[in-house]
Chain A
Amino acid sequence: MNERYARQSFLGPRSEEIFKHCRACIIGLGGGGSHIVQQLAHVGIGNFLIFDADHVEDSNLNRLVGATQADVISKTPKTVVATRLIQGINPKAQIVARLEKWQESAALLRDADVIFGCVDSFSERQQIEATARRYLIPYIDIGMDVHDLGGQFAISGQVILSMPGELCMKCMGFLREDLLAHEAANYGAAGSKPQVIWPNGVLASLAVGIFVPLMTPWHRNHRRVWYLEYDGNSQTVATSNRLAHLAGTVCNHFSSLEDLGDPFWKPSNLKVA
């Protein structure tokens, strides 16, 4: 084993090789995504597919891991920041960095072993999850919110694993039509949502902690469904009690043949690089 990974040898004799061949896709390289990218690079993930259409702004520096003052001045793309971060830790990592919305090169996602969603809209989450289910890819979603309680604030967040064949975010009640409708109605009026680094760090770490045992577990009690709720005021993380109410439920949102593969498949669809 490479001396670099000696301290994580408890993850199994094949863990280094597993991580090296793993293909991780991270959508959104802001406050949450930048943390995840950093941790995955440290763990030894060998292949990255990263998406973000944005450039670094001054208001990002309170939380964007790897970004610097010089990046603000240069308006560096967030994909460049993430690439630099990964390569600084693991120069051998293969990185496909797309300075665009993921929808514009969605076919690239099909090859991912895992997708991390670090986006800030329910609509984006719905679209990513449907795509992940279509190609039988585990999807790990993170997000945080700051709620105005009138004079004081509450920080909250979630980490969800949407696993093919298991409960989806709709089953879990996280994606709901009323939330999507409210979001669509407020389009353009949303403004900048409050975001700070430490909840993002907690959520990103939980996400990576859910991802690693999917690849190489270090114990036998690994779960297939995760919905963790973070309370940033009491600094606690707990499994959502929604899961208890859903015990034994089978997801039928993506169970149809039509939810799998390319719905417009033709042999001529074979893509050339």
Chain B
Amino acid sequence: MIPPEQMEELRAICPDVREMSEGGLTYVYLPGLRLPEGGNPAQADGLLALQGREGYPTRLFVSQQVVGKGNNWNSFRILDKTWFACSWNNVSSALRPAQILAEHLRAFR
């Protein structure tokens, strides 16, 4: 469970944020997440994995690939939806979730 104050920080970024889980792993669902300015798309649904998977300590999945940003995009089926993620590693799980999200969004600048 994400502490309430940390969820509030996420809620300030994405009002409809909610915590979800699958297979024992915790995810933060971020519907309508605004992506960095000038990007395509301007917004997408996001899914932030706060625990290690595939060798990434944390990872941001998005509902659409961001055009021209990020390398080595792959698709993943999580929570019965298809998500996309690029290679953007080494964002520590020790950070607060909102910081983890900010670090991952740097991949789309």
Point out residues on A near B: beta carbons under 8 Å: 101, 103-104, 106, 123, 126-128, 130-131, 133-134, 170, 177, 180-185, 187-188, 252-254, 256, 258-259, 262-264
Contacts and interface: CB of A to CB of B under 8 A. Distances in A.
Nearest to B51: A177
Chain B at the A interface: SS class: strand
Interface string B12-48: 0000000011111000000000000000000000000
Given A170-B23, A256-B21, A134 B80 contact: yes
Interface in B29-84: 52-56, 72, 74-82
Contacts, number: 64
Contacts of A128: 77
A131 B52 CA distance: 20
Given A253-B23, A258-B22, A180 B79 contact: no
B55 A182 contact: yes
B23 A183 contact: no
B20 to A, nearest CB: 6
6 contacts: A103-B76, A127-B77, A128-B77, A131-B77, A134-B80, A187-B72
A149 to B, nearest CB: 26
A254 B23 contact: yes
A160 to B, nearest CB: 16
Nearest to B45: A264
A265 to B, nearest CB: 10
Contacts of A170: 23
Contact of B23 (A106, A123, A259, A262): A259
Nearest to B77: A127
Contacts of B78: 127, 130
Report the interface size class on chain B. Answer: 20 to 34
* Most chain A C-beta atoms within 10 Å of own C-beta, residue among B22, B72, B74, B80: B80
Given A177-B53, A184-B55, A123 B21 contact: no
B103 to A, nearest CB: 19
B57 to A, nearest CB: 10
Contacts of A134: 80
B79 A263 contact: yes
Given A252-B24, A259-B23, A127 B76 contact: yes
A126 B23 CA distance: 9
B20 A103 contact: no
Contacts of B82: 103-104, 106
B83 to A, nearest CB: 9
Contacts of A126: 23
* Most chain B C-beta atoms within 10 Å of own C-beta, residue among A106, A123, A254, A263: A263
Contacts of B80: 106, 131, 134, 262-264
A2 to B, nearest CB: 38
Given A103-B82, A170-B23, A253-B23, A130 B77 contact: yes
